[in-house]
Amino acid sequence: MQAPSAGPLTRLSFAAFLMLAPLSAALGQADAYRGLWVGQVTLNYVNEVSVPLDENNIPIAPDPKVPTPTADQAHLRLILHVNGAGQVSLLKDVAILNRKGGGTEAAINGRPVNLGTNPDALTPSDTHLEAESDVALVTDERLYGEFPPQPAVRIASAVFDFGDSRATDALNEVMAKAAEAAGSSIFGQPSSMFTTSAGRKAAEDAAKLVAKTAAAPIVPAADVATSFFEFLRDEFDASTVNAIAAAANPAAEAATVRGLAVTLQNSSFYGDSRAVQMIDAVVAAVVAAATPAAKTKDAHNTASSYADVTDNYQRFIAGKVLGDAIAGAAQAAAAAAVAPAATATTIRDAVTANGAVIEARSQALTYRVSMYTDTRAPDAVEVVLDAVIASAAAALPAAPGSEETIRTAADQAGRTALANGVRRYPIATQAPTLEYNSFVTSQSFKNSPDTAAAAAAAAAVSERVNNPLYTAQSLENAALVGAVTALRDVFGAAARTVRTELPLTGKLGPGVGDPRLSYDIKKQNLAPLGAAALEGTLFLPANHPTNPFRHRRHPDHTVGLDLQRKLRLDFNGSVGDPLGRAGFGVDRITGTYREEVFGLHKPLGPNKDIGLKVEGTFELNRLSLIDTLNAR
């Protein structure tokens, strides 16, 4: 199914969908600023790259670190998402999909539809949206087919595109190790080796062997998904978690396994810190828990949240199955409440027998992490069901004709419990993407040490033979160029790996960060800029299809330039201030946007370490309180 860039979401329209936001806000949320934020950046400051003349024709170089006012403005669309734990991601696009589907029976039931013979599937549905669990925020277009055919809303920003830099980093590491080893090997050979073809061949073979030996370990080390799983299986299993939970000093008990986690982190260019973060989080959970039983339970659930690499738990609690269970439980509870001789027990029995509740409880069991005692999903189901039952039981004895009133209150109680009572867990932002995992386990990447070693060795021999003024560095440079050329197609595959969202470090909220403009700080001699609210680095590899400096017809651009964009956002106001309002039920937040771009021109400054800097303001409107992406 294709997701059009614009169109009606349902009969209610997208504007009406936004009306759901104030209801959810009133009920509370896991993080106060969770949800989808969309808005605009207005850039009107940039650092100067030219050197102007003063009235005496004397060059006066501007400070490249300080963006200055511009005569015109540039506008960017900005899309952020905040999950239930308060973690923020930059999005390049998001589709807003209706889980209830279009107007045909097949579409409503989520079955495939032939649009050629059933064009009505793409007409607005008569099915009204009743809750945010009827809607999904989808950033991965591969998931579109899991939703019923429908005219969807898609929000995108053309100025933010990013690849998965880790795949390119892996290949760069292979290439660098091979080139360094090959260059060093050729440099250390006596001159007599290069006077005959046999000698040159022997030198090349020797260099190829050492280059392959140096580069080969990068391949298994790049498969951090497998390494992380093996660490959990072999070093941080349930018995280790139990020992930490039972220890008088949890940090001391965890010290040995934490040391192994640090070793794992340092064993690869990837620097995967998930194991270290996981152990620290488990220790913190144990320290915070009050009773031995709570310590064990919280330790296992915290460990499970890091082992849940596909984020199944968060997607379950934000998904259709649990949303339908709340609605079904409320309906069953209301019907039981108005029945003769109703009690809290009969209400609970009716809820337990409801088909949607049975399905939710069943699916919750399938989302548990098997290596730990993971109760997160089953606990979430029971929290919302208990709230529904308690709400209906509070209406006893029920007045005749009050079933709908009881149902509405019970449904709201369940959704309040889902927002307030169901625990959200931070997700590991360093988890490798599916496309990265696919690349590092591909045959082309596995063969890259052989390819790079052979090309680097041949290029280094050629440099030594043909350049009488060769140096160790020139040999390594030649080997590097040879490896790059040989791996061109593999680099292309690495560049095409993508991320659907870019994690940002920090927190979103009024008063977080330092929104002062660099120009004002410089002009008024104010205190230096403080810590950022949100930061992130966007990377677009040279061979990525959308890299703007990859020009096939330009002789100087047969190899493109990597683009790196360092983003920073800071928010206006003071910590604890209420959010502004853009309209009824739509929250707004404003602040200062900064970006430093490398790859657009030569670096500035005496140390050539300053990129193109821009600054401006932004405003973001909260369009939804949905706190999980790609939930089904």
Q: Do 254 and 283 meet the contact criterion of CB atoms below 8 Å apart? A: yes
* 199 and 176 belong to one structural domain: yes
Strand partners, 580: 588
Cβ-based neighbours of 341, under 8 Å, separated by 6 or more: none
* 334 and 400 belong to one structural domain: yes
Model pLDDT, residue 108: 46
Residue where a domain terminates, one of 307, 334, 366:
307
* 170 and 206 belong to one structural domain: yes
Q: How far apart are CA 358 and CA 385, in angstroms?
A: 11
In a domain, 335, yes or no: yes
User: Mind listing the pLDDT tens digit for each residue in 382-441?
Assistant: 999 999 999 999 999 988 889 999 999 999 999 999 988 999 888 888 889 899 999 999
Q: How far apart are CA 434 and CA 440, in angstroms?
A: 10
* 290 and 254 belong to one structural domain: yes
Q: Is pLDDT above 80 for 287? A: yes
In a domain, 499, yes or no: no
Model pLDDT, residue 57: 84
In a domain, 68, yes or no: no
In a domain, 208, yes or no: yes
Query: What's the maximum distance between 2 C-alpha atoms anywhere in the chain?
Result: 105
Q: Do 592 and 569 meet the contact criterion of CB atoms below 8 Å apart? A: yes
Provide the domain limits for residue 402: 314-420
Counts of helices then strands in the chain (DSSP H, E): 23, 12
Residue where a domain terminates, one of 386, 420, 454:
420
Kindly indicate the confidence band of residue 549, based on its pLDDT and cuts at 50, 70 and 90: low
Amino acid found at 9: L
Order of strands across the sheet that contains 135-138:
135-138, 93-98, 153-156
* 318 and 414 belong to one structural domain: yes
Q: How far is CA 606 from the centre of its chain?
A: 35
CA atoms within 13 A on the CB side of 81: 25
| Interior/surface letters 481-511, b for 16+ CB within 10 angstroms, e for the rest | bbbbebbeebbebbbbbbbbbbebebbbbbe
Q: Do 81 and 629 meet the contact criterion of CB atoms below 8 Å apart? A: yes
Model pLDDT, residue 132: 72
Residue where a domain terminates, one of 260, 285, 307:
307
* 415 and 451 belong to one structural domain: no
* 376 and 415 belong to one structural domain: yes
* pTM of the complete model: 0.82
* 318 and 399 belong to one structural domain: yes
Q: Is pLDDT above 90 for 303? A: yes
* 228 and 292 belong to one structural domain: yes
Kindly indicate the confidence band of residue 117, based on its pLDDT and cuts at 50, 70 and 90: low
Strand segments, DSSP code E, in 7-131 are 35-46, 68-82, 88-91, 93-98
How many independent structural domains does the chain possess?
3
Kindly indicate the confidence band of residue 128, based on its pLDDT and cuts at 50, 70 and 90: low
In a domain, 301, yes or no: yes
In a domain, 358, yes or no: yes
Q: What is the mean pLDDT of the chain?
A: 87
In a domain, 22, yes or no: no
Q: Is pLDDT above 80 for 16? A: no
* 252 and 302 belong to one structural domain: yes
Q: Do 233 and 372 meet the contact criterion of CB atoms below 8 Å apart? A: no
Least confident window among 54-58, 65-69, 183-187, 353-357: 54-58
The residue ranking higher by pLDDT, 283 or 158, is: 283
* 328 and 394 belong to one structural domain: yes
Q: Average pLDDT, stretch 271-293? A: 96
In a domain, 451, yes or no: yes
Cβ-based neighbours of 7, under 8 Å, separated by 6 or more: 151, 152, 153
* 274 and 324 belong to one structural domain: no
Looking up tokens 């590491």, which residue turns up? 173
